[in-house]
Amino acid sequence: MDVNAFDFDLPERLIAQTPLAERTSSRLLALNKSTGQIEHGRFEQFVDYLRAGDTLVLNDTRVIPARLFGVKPDTGAKIEVLLLNQLEEGRWEALVRPGKRMHRGAVVRFADELSAEVEDEGEMGMRTIRFRYSGIFQEILDRLGTMPLPPYIKEQLEDRERYQTVYAKHEGSAAAPTAGLHFTPQYLQKVKAKGVELAYVTLHVGLGTFRPVSAERVEEHRMHSEFYRLGPETAAILGRTREAGGRIVAVGTTSARTLETVGQRFEGRPLEACEGWSDIFIYPGYRFRVVDALLTNFHLPKSTLVMLVSALAGRDNVMRAYREAVEREYRFFSFGDAMFIYD
């Protein structure tokens, strides 16, 4: 399948740059994946599309201050490091810029108490690095690191919590699962009052979520692995939901990818608690095993995320909905408006 099948015109002005916490309510586009019907409203109306007996699945990962700025001691060159996956204590996969200055054995110093050495090189600026530090690494990172905001957000957030979901719990992400930023504790109570259960999975968002597609054919793209966990309580809730005929509603593409990874792992069997690394790539032709409905934001052209959405709702339906979203000036990407795909 040609990557250009997922291209569309997106005016730059529609890429939202204001954190949700600083705005009035977001808008909601609801797409019925069976009929293709599109409805427009406000996010407050999302709960009206839910049914008693449904389960809402949320990614409870917590964003770490994963962006570090340092210098090479030998040349004084400025280096930016974005932490992606912790491999073991003190050892991380990271994106390093400029990569051409950071080959195997190169060192970058962030402060007297923190430096890192490149152990291995990958593609597109990927590096395996090992930190040397004195003290507690997490405390040093909290002090020296900054939140890894999308590149089109020019200002750092004074309050880091504005880039966390209200249910963020387990630290490890290089980006927020942004569909969850629409929720407040009060709204989640409204969801529960509707008779909808809340369940949580963890997927630490890394390069697999936002790495651009450079291949000409969709099938040639390879996702980067991200750590996931599904606990016993969530497995039990999902099992009860299935038995009772309720829908499993994923909040965000990261929750959807976690659920489908587990669905593949336990193909044809009840889901069980598990953890591991996911590199699942969902695009049209994929058969969903767990996810029935999806709340998500609007994604960029030719991204793996718009491909996942198209797999669930059909490419033609999604492209038509996106055209309407552009015409009506919905806000796109991390801090943008919401889209609900259901039947």
Q: What is the pLDDT of residues 111-126, one digit of tens each?
A: 999 999 999 998 778 8
Can you give the pLDDT at residue 329? 96
- Residue with more model confidence, 214 or 255: 255
pLDDT, residue 156, reads 63
- Over residues 14-20, mean pLDDT: 76
Whole-number percent of the chain with pLDDT over 70:
94
**In whole angstroms, how far apart are CA 131 and each of 83, 89, 118, 171, 226?**
11, 9, 9, 18, 20
Q: Alpha-carbon distance 216 to 4, whole Å?
A: 8
The topology (CATH level 3) of 3-63+161-342 is: QueA-like (3.40.1780)
| pLDDT at res. 286 | 97
> What per-residue confidence (pLDDT) applies to 118?
96
pLDDT of 221 over the 70 cut:
yes
pLDDT at 328: 97
Q: How far apart are CA 22 and CA 25, in angstroms?
A: 10
Peptide bond into 148 cis (omega under 30): no
Q: Whole-angstrom Cα distance, residue 230 to residue 273?
A: 5
User: Is residue 46 a contact partner of residue 340, using CB atoms and an 8 Å limit?
Assistant: yes
Using the predicted structure, report yes or no on whether residue 31 has a pLDDT greater than 90. Answer: yes
CA–chain centroid gap for 230, Å, is 16
- What pTM value is reported for the model? 0.91
Average pLDDT over the chain reads 92
Domain boundaries defined on the chain: 3-63+161-342, 67-144
More confident position, 225 or 24: 225
Name residues whose C-beta falls within 8 Å of residue 319's C-beta, 6 or more positions apart in sequence: 6, 8, 310
Residue 214 pLDDT: 80
Look at the domain 67-144 and name its fold: Thrombin, subunit H (2.40.10)
Q: Which of 12-16, 185-189, 334-338 has the highest mean pLDDT?
A: 185-189
